[in-house]
A = this chain, B = another copy of it.
């Protein structure tokens, strides 16, 4: 399985707090704990040529992980269209945290993907509401992040195919923090936590969820369905 971890990689180069936690970038930490699962992992970042996603990389990616925040607008429309097509053709997509506002997520959802937010380093507790789901395997009834950015409802997304995690925030909000969708032959998982100024991607529960999600989002083996004109399979009365 080929995984590509895409990261905007701006905060970690400009914000000392983020740089201190993720000196090589969030993508390297994520790649690190995925590699340990025995899959082939690449990284790609915004400022590389073609954002690090030339056709040969994208076409050979089974699951793409996406982290972006301040530079969503700098992601080209052409690459966004290519990623959308790859998802429709079967590539898994895992969108993390502030990626809710990325072009690719908004394009695939068809909504604004807007939400409430607050950077106050407050406690988040993620509850498992779909314990039958493989993405929640190995996770207890809930897990806590001592300090995270708050995201609150209303989260302007389509009703998810599956709701796996719901967050409780110290400041009084709730959030649909782990949701799945299928688009075409591809699977999508959105996972809320991961603000750049907190060590969230070092949390073992967060890592386990992302590891599970990669397995869940792996492409099924099938050809793209045939669309367009179709001959009748039965004899029509008018013929």
- Contacting pair B118 A171 (CB below 8 A): no
**The residue from B90, B134, B154, B230 contacting A150, defined by CB atoms under 8 A apart:** B230
Q: Please name all residues of chain B whose beta carbon is closer than 8 Å to the beta carbon of A176 when the two chains form the complex.
A: 129, 166
Whether A125 sits at the interface, judged by CB under 8 Å, is yes
Q: With A88-B112, A220-B137, A221-B137 as given contacts, are A127 and B174 in contact (CB-CB < 8 Å)?
A: yes
CB contacts under 8 Å to B, within A197-234, are: 220-222, 225-234
Least CB distance from A104 to B in Å reads 10
A114 to B162: give the CA distance in the assembly, Å.
Answer: 20
Which of A25-33, A43-51, A62-70, A182-190 faces chain B? A182-190
How many residues of A sit at the interface, in one of the four size bands?
35 or more
- Contacting pair B237 A170 (CB below 8 A): yes
Whether A121 sits at the interface, judged by CB under 8 Å, is yes
Q: Please name all residues of chain B whose beta carbon is closer than 8 Å to the beta carbon of A24 when the two chains form the complex.
A: none
CB contacts under 8 Å to B, within A118-172, are: 118, 120-123, 125, 127-134, 136-139, 141, 150, 152-156, 158-159, 161-163, 166-172
- Contacting pair B172 A233 (CB below 8 A): yes
Least CB distance from A99 to B in Å reads 15
A200 to B128: give the CA distance in the assembly, Å.
Answer: 28
Flag A97-129 by CB within 8 Å of B: 1 or 0 each: 000000000011111101111101111010111
Least CB distance from A112 to B in Å reads 6
Least CB distance from A108 to B in Å reads 4
Q: Please name all residues of chain B whose beta carbon is closer than 8 Å to the beta carbon of A166 when the two chains form the complex.
A: 153, 166, 174, 176
- Contacting pair A232 B133 (CB below 8 A): no
Given contacts A107-B110, A127-B153, A129-B174, 19 further A-B contacts (CB under 8 A): A88-B111, A88-B156, A90-B132, A117-B229, A117-B230, A118-B232, A122-B236, A130-B182, A133-B182, A133-B220, A137-B222, A139-B222, A141-B154, A158-B158, A158-B181, A168-B173, A170-B237, A171-B230, A171-B233
| 19 contacting pairs across A/B (C-beta < 8 A) | A90-B132, A108-B111, A114-B227, A117-B229, A118-B232, A120-B238, A127-B173, A128-B154, A128-B225, A131-B222, A132-B182, A132-B186, A132-B220, A154-B225, A156-B184, A159-B161, A159-B182, A168-B173, A171-B230
